[in-house]
């Protein structure tokens, strides 16, 4: 059973930043997004991420453009991109900002009080190699069924999963141009720009 999110973000986020825990797997099911989070063995954690790098990561995942973050923190766009990528790898995510997991964006919105009514489930599994925590949240894009056509909802779900236009086109047996047009329609209907803007919209509306 999913429950109302409260302190899970404020508990897990500092552990991840301090290298005391790491995301060992992330993905989606038909109904939810999930992280598998493991504690790091004592003495094997990463160095704690600097406040400057974390600030840039959080600002980008909360919806600010990399250009704005670069201007306001007096650095180059490439530095912001490098800091975001480095932070994601430190958390255990071999991802670029362009396909960051939706659940991480949701976690940051919860942490900063910018999320809507968010539901999560946090479970612990005890294994021989230590405790594994499973964090799940319902797929927020499913709530768009009354605003999007069936085709638009399908490409939106695939985009939220982190798939590229080419991957979505291959999955739907259509052209990348058709996918781009459908996603453009979704962005216009929701008043957002880009995948990260979509994730922020879903996090704040969830």
Read out DSSP for 12-71? HHHHHHTTSEEEEEEEE-SSEEEEEEEEPPTT-SPPPPPHHHHHHHHHHHTT--HHHHHH
Most confident of 88-92, 115-119, 129-133: 88-92
Quote the pLDDT of residue 41: 67
- In this structure, are 90 and 188 located in the same domain? no
Mean pLDDT on 125-147: 87
Structural domain boundaries, residue 42: 3-138
Write down which residue in 117, 138, 159 finishes a domain.
Answer: 138
For the whole prediction, is pTM greater than 0.85? yes
- At 119, is the pLDDT very low, low, confident or very high (cuts 50, 70, 90)? confident
- 133 with 153, same domain: the answer is no
Mean pLDDT of 141-169: 94
pLDDT in tens, 56-101: 999 999 999 999 999 999 999 999 999 999 999 999 998 888 889 9
Tell me the CATH number at 55.
1.10.10.10
Alpha helices per DSSP H over the chain = 8-17, 51-61, 66-72, 77-91, 102-111, 150-160, 165-172, 176-190, 194-205
pLDDT tens-place string over residues 40-51: 765 444 456 889
């Amino acid at each position: 059973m999913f429950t109302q999110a409260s302190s899970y973000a404020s508990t897990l986020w500092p552990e991840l930043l301090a290298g005391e825990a790491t995301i060992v797997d992330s993905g989606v099911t038909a109904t939810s997004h999930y992280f598998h989070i493991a504690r790091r063995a004592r003495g094997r954690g990463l160095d704690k991420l600097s406040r400057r790098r974390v600030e840039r990561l959080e600002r980008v995942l909360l919806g600010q453009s990399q250009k704005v973050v670069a201007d306001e923190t007096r650095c180059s766009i490439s530095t912001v991109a490098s800091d975001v990528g480095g932070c994601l790898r430190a958390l255990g995510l071999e991802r670029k900002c362009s396909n960051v997991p939706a659940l991480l964006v949701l976690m940051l919105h919860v942490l900063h009080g910018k999320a809507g009514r968010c539901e999560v489930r946090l479970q612990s599994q005890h294994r021989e190699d230590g405790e594994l925590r499973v964090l799940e949240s319902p797929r927020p894009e499913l709530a768009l069924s009354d605003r999007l056509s069936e085709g638009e909802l399908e490409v939106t779900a695939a985009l939220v999963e982190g798939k590229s236009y080419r991957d979505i086109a291959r999955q739907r047996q259509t052209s990348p141009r058709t996918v781009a047009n459908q996603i453009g329609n979704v962005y216009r209907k929701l008043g957002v720009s880009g995948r990260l803007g979509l994730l922020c919209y879903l996090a704040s509306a969830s």
